Amino acid sequence: MSWRVCSSCRSPIAFQAVYWECSVSTCTRPRTGLFFCSVACWEAHLPEMRHREAWAVEQRAPSQAEWARREAEEAADDAVRAAERTPRPGRTSATSAEPIRRIVAPPAAPSAAAALTTADTSEILGVVSQLKKYVKERSGMNTSDGVVQALSDHLRDVCDRAIRKAGEDGRKTVLDRDVRAILR
């Protein structure tokens, strides 16, 4: 019985045997999980992965008892996560005919301390060069810097109203329909 198979040559890697991992984090993620039986097999994956700098890291496979214990712990964790996703009796689930509606309070006005951490109201909310380019190509006219500030103020107002509308609808995401309702 083997622990894993080599990601390159598919030969088995036995429990408590030496195997090799790539030093690059994307190769060692749980979902990717590349394991190699030799340095030669590790080198075979390099042209495909195009790592800038990598090396093979020697590891030792777990014992069969340790592996069984880890698998049991993961199964227990999965069961807990599944139980948390199961709707409680008397609650509406996402698969029922009626959707679950969250009641979200509209955002409160920021306090003086929060105002210091939020974006400055004089900050420009658009790409000025793109705006000026659009006006120039459309009409041949130049654009004053005051126009950019006025448009940013208008955009802030539209965003604030769209945020309130999404909150009143019980959502935590501002959608295009919230903005369209305001612009009508």
In a domain, 175, yes or no: yes
Sign of torsion over alpha carbons 51, 52, 55, 57 = negative
Examine the fold and report which residue of 44, 70, 96 is the final residue of a domain before the chain moves on: 70
In a domain, 99, yes or no: no
Name the residue range of residue 142's domain. Answer: 112-183
Please provide the DSSP assignment of 69-97 as one string: HHHHHHHHHHHHHHHHHSPPTTSPPTTSS
Report the domain count for the chain. 2
CA distance 25 to 36: 15
CA distance 129 to 182: 27
In a domain, 101, yes or no: no
In a domain, 126, yes or no: yes
| Three-state DSSP class for residue 5 | strand
In a domain, 87, yes or no: no
In a domain, 21, yes or no: yes
Q: What is the residue-level pLDDT of the chain in tens, covering all 184 positions?
A: 788 999 989 999 999 999 999 888 888 888 788 999 999 998 888 877 778 888 889 999 999 999 899 889 888 888 888 777 766 655 555 555 555 555 555 555 555 445 444 556 778 878 888 888 988 999 999 988 888 888 888 988 998 999 998 888 888 899 989 888 888 7
Q: Residue 141 sits in a domain of what CATH number?
A: 1.10.20
In a domain, 103, yes or no: no
